[in-house]
Amino acid sequence: MNRTALRCLLLIIVFSTSSACVTSNVDQMVFNEPTEGIGDSSVVILGRRHASDYETEPDFIECVGDHIASRDKSITVIGELEFINALYPWFEPRTAPLRPSDIDKLLLQEPVAMKMAELKTEYMIWIDGSTERGDSAGSMTCAIGPGGGGCFGFGTWSDDANYEAAIWDFTDRTEVGRVSTSATGQSYMPAVIVPIPIIAPVQGTACDGIANQLLEFLSSEY
Amino acid sequence: MSRSMISVPEGRRPALTLLMLVLLSACGPANVVVEGTFPEPLMEPLPLTMGIWYNEDFANHEFFDEAKSREESSWIVKTGAAQVQMWDKLLEGMFVDLVHMKGRPGPGQMNQVVDAVLIPHVVELQYAIPAHTNVKVYEIWMRYRFEMVTPGGKPITEWTMSSYGKTPTAFMQSDKGAVNLAAVMALRDAGANFATNFTRVPAVQEWLQQKWQKPARKKTAAKVSP
């Protein structure tokens, strides 16, 4: 491989592994924090899906759950789909409890109460929010011909993530905390023959931010 | 015999044919056969032997939307198989016994003995994709009509019910995949709506009261008589 090709390859690797900056902000308001963690109980993280113009992304909920479970192995996080399937039809967007007090009504049904006891759910965390694409600018032209193809131009866009997590204590049927996070970042895509995306990991940063705060609440190690 | 202007080596012909077919398939309507898995409802089953009759239109339900401009594509959304799968699973969990009828209940139709027969219909289906609405969600909206009849075909009641499903846009997710997911969500919502509201339909409530009072009266009468 000649030196020019090697340089090009190096440049591509550098650009593709680099990422744009993200600004993140986390707020929390917590009461009745468990001092010794949640023990052998489990926690379930669910996405709110009531709004008509956005939907809390299932992969964001999975990201938060994975982050918590990987940092503290003693915490059992029940998967969102597993939980809503096990309790169908009581946690669908139409039927999901909106207030902690609604759980009482739900538990009046014996099969639901038995399933909840079986799952040992101590905390139920509802996450509401989404990552939205903001302003975008620039232009890019791509062409293809007999001799090959390529792109030329520059594009940039911003992403904004806003999420809020409400923590419900399942035993006391009360809300014991609220954590919110917002993250914003600008992504770039210069293209000289090959487009090189420099993506701002906005949703990932929001996920880490909210998951770390939830870990402080749930884990005895943090 | 005249030779064609462009000659293709024998070995490459199948590959070229395949390529042409792939390119031509891109010109047709977007075809979505709804596929998904549906959970059993977690509830105390009602002590009823319910019959179910899916007519041809319902079991093979499909929705066709023709493109309104050259930029848009036509859509065919086939929900029939998924509808039957979901309603079977739901009703099996909602009632002590679910029986599939041999034919539509009516005079002269020999059928199994059941308390009542449900006949679902999809009256309307609408969909929206981000290209239509500029909102980052795919949506499916359905309206059902339910007939509840006696095994002999006599109407007990009928009512309508709507369901809605949406799914967010996701990286590397095709329009077809997202519409399928939205349809699965709409079917789940239909199941949730039906399961939680069936006994609240006024005519159904009345029918249930009559049905459950009759045996109680008989028992009381038996006790009273010497």
Q: Summarize pLDDT for A16-27 with one digit per residue, the tens.
A: 556 678 888 888
Calpha distance B36→B82 (Å, rounded)? 7
Contacts of A187 in chain B (CB under 8 A): none
* Pairing mode of beta strands A174-195, A22-30: antiparallel
pLDDT recorded at residue A54:
83
Q: What percent of chain B has pLDDT over 70?
A: 80
Calpha distance A98→A45 (Å, rounded)? 14
Residue boundaries of the structural domains of chain B: 27-219
Calpha distance B77→B201 (Å, rounded)? 30
Candidate from A55, A89, A95 with C-beta closest to B137: A55
Calpha distance B140→B129 (Å, rounded)? 9
pLDDT recorded at residue B113:
87
Whether B132 has a pLDDT exceeding 90, the answer reads: no
Mean pLDDT (chain B) is 84
Calpha distance B114→B120 (Å, rounded)? 17
pLDDT recorded at residue B5:
45
C-alpha of A189 from chain center: 24
Whether B221 has a pLDDT exceeding 50, the answer reads: no
pLDDT recorded at residue B21:
59
Q: Complex ipTM, two decimals? A: 0.80
Segment B9-15 mean pLDDT: 61
pLDDT recorded at residue A39:
67
Q: Summarize pLDDT for B178-204 with one digit per residue, the tens.
A: 889 999 999 999 999 999 999 999 999
pLDDT recorded at residue B171:
62
Q: What percent of chain A has pLDDT over 90?
A: 56
pLDDT recorded at residue B109:
76
Domains in chain A, please, with CATH? 26-130+162-180+201-218 (3.40.50.800)
State which H helix or E strand residue B180 sits in: helix B175-197
Q: How many CB pairs under 8 A join A and B?
A: 57
Sequence letter at residue A17: T
Q: What are phi and psi of B52, to 5 degrees?
A: -135, 135
**Testing the interface with A: which of B89, B94, B136 to mutate, by most A Cβ within 10 A?**
B136
- Closest-approach residue (CA) in chain B for A89: B192
- Determine whether A70 is exposed, middle or buried from the number of CB atoms within 10 Å of its CB (0-12, 13-18, 19+): exposed
Tell whether domain B27-219 is in CATH 3.40.50.10610.
yes
Does residue A92 contact residue A73 with C-beta atoms inside 8 Å? no
Q: Which residue has the higher pLDDT, B52 or A22?
A: B52
Q: Which of B111, B114, B53 is nearest to B87 (CA)?
A: B53
